[in-house]
A and B are shown apart, each in its own frame.
Chain A
């Protein structure tokens, strides 16, 4: 008896060592004039050390709210976690006090955004803004040491002539360079987790390739985990180890990147894959689009949130909510990783 107990506790320990962040049945609600609306419902996933987890979905699916919840940046006083938990290294961070939050945010968990100018102050030099990060999180450093560290960081993110660029203002840099500066600021304290919210969406494809390469190199060097929020399945295939597909505030599919692209199993994931023009699809043919639009948060279907756009939808789907459950597709090569899908009719969907 005691043996098996010991075994179990070892297992949890190992899991905690491996999974640096776990989101468990997270539910978030926003207060509005017409009452509270649930923007996240039953969102669960976990992030492993040194790996990249992709959060994919269309606008309004809850990707960014999930990120804000992890960062403790839900708009106050409207946004509230109303259920579930977020565990960083095994301990809950949803109910932290403000000083405890400050110690975590920007230090252990950091974030970068689509538009660098939302994070950079236009009236201060990039050097000053980068030094400020050290001032806040490493107060033991002298002013001179901060400058040295900041210049080393600029160099690390691939900014040529960092000593000169240190004194420039954000508007004097190109979009790609600003993104590099924001990455430098986010990584200054060597966080364990970097949340990247559409960091390359506003960039040209050539600059996007540069930034993705930079993020991969920095990850290999520091061993940080990345939560990569994007709507671009190409970027997901390129960057991620694990993928969470979200739709209308729900996780609908969660698996490793190979399984996701080889056997997408939720009807929404399948629809997304088919609606995307690929370089190898025949040009000028009709794409298989998902009919309709994402429902608004105040008019969610009662049962499965995808039911009103799904070709496999039945009365059961309209009436009750499916759970996120493990699914083993009979004919797929087992990747041994768990494949979680939220759908009542997986057999029908995947044998159609």
Chain B
């Protein structure tokens, strides 16, 4: 049984918007009371519409944002209130890959320098050793050694993402957050990068938190998937189960909306009406109640709690399911 790597308890990220003597402070509830755990070597997918808090949650986990409440426990240590100095040594263990690799690759440095920098920062090895490590990293992500002397702009999108991945795995992290890491890539290249992530994960026992708006991609790479809506997790279960038999009406609508690549399976879908409400003025009670096709009176007053189904690792926050029990 693999050990728990990361545990998140009641994490919130409430962003204060305005504050004056005359009006009550208003908050943007980007992440609201989120709890989950992640085992070593496991992939957790995060899905939901834009603005649901996926990326904010990911950034809070790495402490790129200071959480406003809750606890983050990484490898048994409570890191919620670590200072940035204390975080430095932990950064070896947790990395992030973004959608556009150029956001994180310095365009004025050669790929060789970019890949040696993490070792310099953490004072590992001598010059010769670092160079050798950088070359090994290139091979690992499927790039030729000649790439060492080139600059990031000389590479295609897929190759740049390989460089981003090479740097993320340089210090042998335990956790990598992939924030839309394959979303900007062409289909044929996207498959290459997903294959690379899957094989690196197996080789290095990497845990991944995988964010993507393409739900088929998330299903392919994840062990478990959490569905988020307006800052909250509404359903969390194995990828298989979620896609085969989603229980939350929001998950059902999301999955029903995925276009199926088979013209003989065109179906009447359950099209969700309207847009996501604002995260500043969320609907009372269940936040999904304003768009839910199965809304009941109770939903508009009382927010459902995220609860496990009897005897199963299937969490869901919906009054309907409580009534089924």
Contact = CB atoms under 8 A, between A and B. Distances in A.
B188 A289 contact: yes
Interface string A164-180: 00000000001111000
Contacts of A286: 195, 198-199
> Which of B190, B220, B266, B272 counts the most chain A CB atoms within 10 A?
B220
Nearest to A281: B220
Nearest to A275: B191
Interface in B253-299: 253-254, 256-266, 269, 271-273, 275-276
B216 A276 contact: yes
A271 B271 contact: no
Given A237-B259, A237-B261, A293-B156, A206 B49 contact: yes
Interface in A169-217: 174-177, 204-210, 212-213
A235 interface: yes
A59 B219 contact: no
Given A287-B220, A289-B191, A290-B188, A238 B260 contact: yes
Interface in A122-169: none
Interface string A209-233: 1101100000000000000000111
Interface of B is mostly: helix
Nearest to A289: B191
Contacts of A87: none
A207 B259 contact: no
A234 B195 contact: no
A269 to B, nearest CB: 11
A208 B239 CA distance: 22
Contacts, number: 135
B16 interface: no
Contacts of A70: none
A285 B271 CA distance: 31
B186 A279 contact: no
B188 A207 contact: no
B148 interface: no
A253 to B, nearest CB: 15
A209 B257 contact: yes
A275 B127 CA distance: 40
A206 B219 CA distance: 17
Given A284-B223, A290-B191, A293-B156, A277 B259 contact: no
A305 to B, nearest CB: 14
A237 B262 contact: yes
Interface in A23-66: 58-59
A259 to B, nearest CB: 10
A261 B264 CA distance: 9
Of the four ranges (under 10, 10 to 19, 20 to 34, 35 or more), the interface on chain B belongs to 35 or more
> Which of B254, B262, B269 counts the most chain A CB atoms within 10 A?
B262
Given A206-B49, A213-B271, A233-B261, A289 B220 contact: no
Interface string B119-140: 0000000000000000000000
A7 interface: no
Given A177-B275, A283-B221, A272 B259 contact: no
B215 A205 contact: yes
A205 B257 contact: yes
A284 B215 contact: no
B275 A174 contact: yes
B187 interface: yes
B40 interface: no
B159 A277 contact: no
Contacts of A174: 275
A160 B253 CA distance: 21
Given A209-B257, A238-B260, A276 B275 contact: no
A176 B49 CA distance: 12
B50 interface: yes
B220 A283 contact: yes
Contacts of A304: none
> Which of B239, B240, B271 counts the most chain A CB atoms within 10 A?
B271
Contacts of B269: 209, 213
Interface in A263-318: 271-273, 275-279, 281, 283-291, 293-294
Interface in B208-266: 213, 215-217, 219-223, 239-240, 243, 253-254, 256-266
Contact of B188 (A58, A232, A234): A58
B321 interface: no
B113 interface: no
Given A206-B254, A283-B220, A284-B221, A234 B260 contact: yes
26 contacts: A58-B188, A177-B275, A206-B254, A206-B271, A206-B272, A231-B187, A232-B259, A233-B187, A234-B260, A234-B261, A235-B259, A236-B261, A237-B262, A238-B259, A238-B260, A261-B261, A261-B263, A278-B261, A279-B216, A284-B198, A284-B220, A284-B223, A286-B195, A287-B194, A290-B192, A293-B189
Which 10 interchain pairs have the tightest Cβ spacing? A234-B259, A277-B220, A275-B191, A289-B191, A58-B186, A290-B188, A209-B257, A287-B191, A204-B49, A289-B192
